[in-house]
Amino acid sequence: MEKVGTYKFMAEPFKADVKGNLFMSALGNYMLNAADFQSAERNFGYLDLRESNKAWVLSRFVIDISEMPKSYEHFHISTWVESAMRFFTRRNWSIQGDGGKQYGYGCSVWAMIDLETRQPADIFAIGNGIMKEYVDEEHTVPIEPPSRVRMNEKEAKLVREIDTVYNDIDINGHVNSVRYIEHALDILPLEWHSNNFIRRLEVAYVAEAHFGDKLRFYEDRQSEDEICYRISALQPDGKEQECCRIKILVKSK
């Protein structure tokens, strides 16, 4: 089987924003679907890991695009593993339209954890190191790798606080990775989205939020072109735990 998996998608009309562009969170969801399909077909997917009580944990997620698919446009997402070390693996994506149009790329870092101990687990213990067969080291993507999302904590303002809700929670009982993106982009008003294009979105995941937590969003506008969010979970006992940081780089229109 080839190292790269390629999957067809269509920008669903009900997943398009007021400009007719696919929502960033919907693109992120398709990319994670492609990753899931690619790994499942090569026997290191979610269901394979669950047999030995392990799970993939997304640590960094970058979406870097020059254009967003419009509603009804068909596109395909290719994805592959660029590197695998004992505790981390890097996965890339390429998002292409019909006729070779390049919408953009993605890259990510994943860890594997033991679901019982919640500790990092040895990636090469899965299927006798089967992932090694699919590492495609020469196959990089022409975008910046994940960076540190630095917040100016003095400048950061609490701009949104919401309850976690039923539709936030995935099968693992955690807030779904893509919902942080959706909720963060909902801080920015419709008019902002009409006048700006998010050319790069970067998420650094830190810890999981659970049902019953409140999600707090702290915003740091570092410049016109760069906005950072720190999202934390205010737990029922009053403890506040950082969940993730999101950096968006913007191109004004």
| Binding residues vs a second copy (CB under 8 A) | 12-20, 23, 25, 29, 32-33, 36, 46-47, 71-72, 165-167, 169-171, 173, 176-178, 182, 185-186, 188-190, 193, 211
Q: How far is the CB of 19 from a second copy (least distance, A)?
A: 8
Kindly tell me which of 33 and 78 has the beta carbon lying closer to a second copy. Answer: 33
Kindly tell me which of 33 and 241 has the beta carbon lying closer to a second copy. Answer: 33
Q: How far is the CB of 177 from a second copy (least distance, A)?
A: 8
Q: How far is the CB of 217 from a second copy (least distance, A)?
A: 12
End-to-end CA distance of the chain: 43
Kindly tell me which of 144 and 163 has the beta carbon lying closer to a second copy. Answer: 163
Q: How far is the CB of 86 from a second copy (least distance, A)?
A: 26
Kindly tell me which of 135 and 249 has the beta carbon lying closer to a second copy. Answer: 249
Nearest of 22, 24, 106 to residue 60 by alpha carbon: 106
Q: How far is the CB of 138 from a second copy (least distance, A)?
A: 30
Q: Are strands 157-163 and 5-10 parallel, antiparallel or unpaired?
A: unpaired
Cβ contacts of 129 within 8 Å, gap of 6 or more:
none
Kindly tell me which of 46 and 124 has the beta carbon lying closer to a second copy. Answer: 46
Q: How far is the CB of 116 from a second copy (least distance, A)?
A: 19
Kindly tell me which of 100 and 171 has the beta carbon lying closer to a second copy. Answer: 171
Sheet containing 226-234: order of strands: 5-10, 74-84, 89-97, 102-114, 54-65, 196-205, 240-252, 226-234, 214-223, 157-163
Q: How far is the CB of 161 from a second copy (least distance, A)?
A: 12
Q: Are strands 196-205 and 102-114 parallel, antiparallel or unpaired?
A: unpaired
Kindly tell me which of 23 and 103 has the beta carbon lying closer to a second copy. Answer: 23
